[in-house]
Chains A and B, each alone.
Chain A
């Protein structure tokens, strides 16, 4: 049994051996973008922040100028954060071609030291998945994945979702009998697109439903399920796998057990919260033939989330999970199979 330490990020870091960490995050208009940074600041060796420029709308919607102004505003606010180095920010396009996305994440990973904190809170999945995979490939001594809960989310999170496609570095041929694992989030339209076109004759589907969330989040999750449920074949309507929203370890094990029971090629559809997506990313990186499909919004809502959920006054609910600890993977398929 491998130890998978996790907990409030500041609390966790105090108990880990390294004193200096490289921090990777993403600038955003969301309040929580720098919560992890606040927890790490004095232990930070280097900072690597991405700033992702959304795409313009298909017909109307925000223009490139609007996006540029938003990015400048984000940067201006970031300058005021103590210790933050705006010159270390790397700009990239949200809908960049896969090779360009991969080059961007490689340029970040190539500069990393042995101890890494990856703040997933505001990072678009199109960048988070390849970045995480490349970090895992680089095998740092220690890797902590952090996530900060927001106080609330906007009614609409993203706009003008593109046709579904594999996330960069997570493309494998989809068999005629895949096992689809879809996490439940707030906006079902992208998943409905994907499920509508998956092979149904022999394929199988399991939903991963995050629980332990607020009443409004829970309601939105169930609405999500109710939206996609009616058009699914009966055999795809198995009860969802319930996972605690912040429990990366439990989510990983729950999905792994389902995968262990099959030899099917696995298709992940990460539409839920980031900890679930991270668990999917870990599994997809370990499996020999896994695909991660996503319908990428062209641009995100300015009020994607507001505020930071505080554990106690002034202490943001920023949770860290050790993914690699002292050179050992805390998560692996073989080890778990043997456990």
Chain B
């Protein structure tokens, strides 16, 4: 009997936090199908918000993960034509780079040069480690598709020749074997480490400063020599991971200027455009600003497509125009199926033909807005959702009350339709002849207001919004696989606690989980996401700001009885204004909120033809805040003071949100209703 009480989503929450062996089972290769640019002969910047999966994707370049696939007897998920590579990596925090920038350097230039040297040595050390363990694994057949040979004599010769290269500035004089090279590299890294650990600059003496290597070049030469010595094949790529690029300017204990210099050193490595060794940079989206990426020691800036390519998680996963259909849906379905297989709830041998079948079976279809409204008001008191309509004429009151008995959502929208004057003084139609807002123009008008009307109906009924079904789950996941896993985890838990789960002995016994249970699970998941905002650096600040924003927006949506502003689940800002220097603080705050996955941002043309940035609370937080998701309608356009107040965690009274004397409003449209 299958243990259906186990929650396949309970442990191993994300592939980022699992060990290599579990990674093999849980990682969905579907993601790689959509990321061919990750393996091109170019530098690639992997952009994604907190938890989007950057580290997970970059893990494919770790030798231990590749070997784990061999150990498990599974095919490495990277296409054979792309898999001839070895990797080496550098992690900003685990390497102590934050402390590097805190030392008492004589100048920024000295710090930059030494950081480049430290990076060279760290990457070289890891490259040697990769070569050794991958060549051994290849010899024993654990790794395939990689041209690599275990040849000690060739490696010794490689070490000897590498040590003679001028790029090291005689730092490796006298090295004749691989072991000697490893010792010299370790010793030099040790000196840097010693300086970091004791915060003493005198550890780095003049002799060391005179032999500092230029960032990037030595590692390219090392890669080239590996090919020349036939240790790796002539076409084997050397890919260098640099994760947490954004951390260099996010950590407050590291002076901001020092962080920027260190980033410019990394930029310099990319700016070399040296195909002998290629970089894979992991960063949050707004820490990587095209056009503002200075190259250390020069006046140049990095240029996209010339110096690097971008793999943007948000864009790739959000794509709906792929030949196989929406990318995120395919990924989510595969991840869902893999979790069930991993937990032993689904027999891999009897894989369903359709990858999406388990996901669809479990969640079912999402209810329509009309069905949701009926759940809010219950069977006996449908007119409860209509609210106070005493401001309308008695004819209309009677009509709407009758309508609310059957169609509470239509009645709520109808009340707003009349309040807006769209009835133009006409009496309500006779019973049984439909609603006057059913025509082409008005049907669109009504449709755009369903989500806002649902908020008001739920509030009148003192109920929480209903979220359920595949469509809702995918929308609430917001193309973010961690959020998706969180929803699955909590819905599964809610279902497990119910009597429905007790009779299930096989996967095929499962039918669509009850909507109420799904709503409970989704609410729990959203609350957990809200709590987790605190688990990130400066998370309390962002959480307070998000709460203030969401409460302001929700109040606007709830109090707008005419349903005049159905898009006010988010807010919009003029891009040209936002990019002005005097609003750098506001921009920085909003970028930070997006980078950490609290807000979602989409840029598009506003009603006036100007480019605008649209911000919404991340969809997975919408249930917690009881806000609808982005419905495409024109969002709220706040003033500068409103954004500043939100950033400080203050909910605002919109009627008082006017520009203070001497303070230019950020946008033409003011906020007072």
Interfacial residues, chain A to chain B (CB-CB below 8 A) = 55, 57-61, 95, 97-99, 102, 156, 159-166, 168-169, 171-174, 188-189, 192-193, 196-197, 200-202, 227, 230-231, 233-234, 295-296, 298
Contacts and interface: CB of A to CB of B under 8 A. Distances in A.
A224 B104 CA distance: 38
A197 B537 CA distance: 13
A233 B539 contact: no
B649 A172 contact: no
A172 B189 CA distance: 12
A83 to B, nearest CB: 35
Interface residues of B, number: 49
B197 A171 contact: yes
Contacts of A60: 541, 644, 647-649
B305 interface: no
Nearest to B103: A99
B648 A102 contact: no
Contacts of A174: 94
Q: Which 10 A-B pairs have the closest CB atoms?
A: A60-B648, A201-B19, A192-B535, A163-B537, A97-B102, A189-B534, A59-B647, A99-B199, A163-B251, A98-B199
Interface string B421-454: 0000000000000000000000000000000000
A172 B190 CA distance: 10
A161 B539 contact: yes
B647 A171 contact: no
A202 B647 CA distance: 41
B197 A97 contact: no
A67 B247 CA distance: 27
B12 A233 contact: yes
B193 A168 contact: no
21 contacts: A55-B252, A57-B541, A58-B252, A58-B541, A59-B589, A95-B252, A95-B253, A97-B102, A97-B253, A99-B102, A99-B199, A102-B199, A160-B538, A161-B540, A164-B537, A166-B96, A171-B196, A189-B534, A189-B539, A233-B17, A233-B19
A2 B644 CA distance: 59
Contacts of B534: 189, 192
Contact of A98 (B13, B102, B537): B102
Nearest to A296: B253
B199 A161 contact: no
A193 B648 contact: no
A271 to B, nearest CB: 13
Given A59-B647, A165-B99, A166-B99, A193 B536 contact: yes
Of the candidates B17, B95, B99, B535, the one having the most CB atoms from chain A within 10 angstroms of its own CB is B535
Given A99-B199, A165-B93, A231-B13, A171 B99 contact: yes
B252 A171 contact: no
A162 B648 contact: no
Given A60-B647, A169-B198, A233-B11, A200 B17 contact: yes
Given A99-B200, A189-B534, A234-B11, 10 more contacts: A59-B541, A59-B545, A60-B541, A60-B648, A99-B103, A173-B94, A173-B95, A189-B536, A192-B535, A233-B19
Interface string B195-208: 01111100000000
Contacts of B535: 188-189, 192-193, 196
B292 to A, nearest CB: 21
Nearest to B65: A201
Given A98-B102, A166-B99, A173-B96, A201 B64 contact: yes
A172 B103 CA distance: 16
Interface-central residue, A98, A196, A233, by most chain B CB under 10 Å = A98
B419 interface: no
Nearest to A234: B11
Nearest to A99: B199
Nearest to B68: A201
Contacts of A95: 252-253
Contacts of A156: 540
Contacts of B11: 233-234
Contacts of B17: 196, 200, 231, 233
Contacts of A162: 251-253, 537-538
B253 A165 contact: yes
B531 interface: yes
B260 to A, nearest CB: 16
Interface string B221-263: 0000000000000000000000000010011110100000000
A220 to B, nearest CB: 14
B197 A169 contact: yes
A156 B534 CA distance: 12
B18 interface: yes
Contacts of B131: none
Contacts of B560: none
B646 to A, nearest CB: 9
B399 to A, nearest CB: 50
A161 B534 CA distance: 9
B99 A98 contact: yes
Interface in B2-28: 10-13, 17-21
Contacts of A61: 541, 648
A202 to B, nearest CB: 8
A59 B247 contact: no
B485 to A, nearest CB: 11
B98 interface: yes
Contacts of A298: 252, 538
A295 to B, nearest CB: 7
Nearest to A60: B648
Nearest to B14: A231
Nearest to A188: B535
Contacts of A230: 10, 13
Nearest to B645: A60
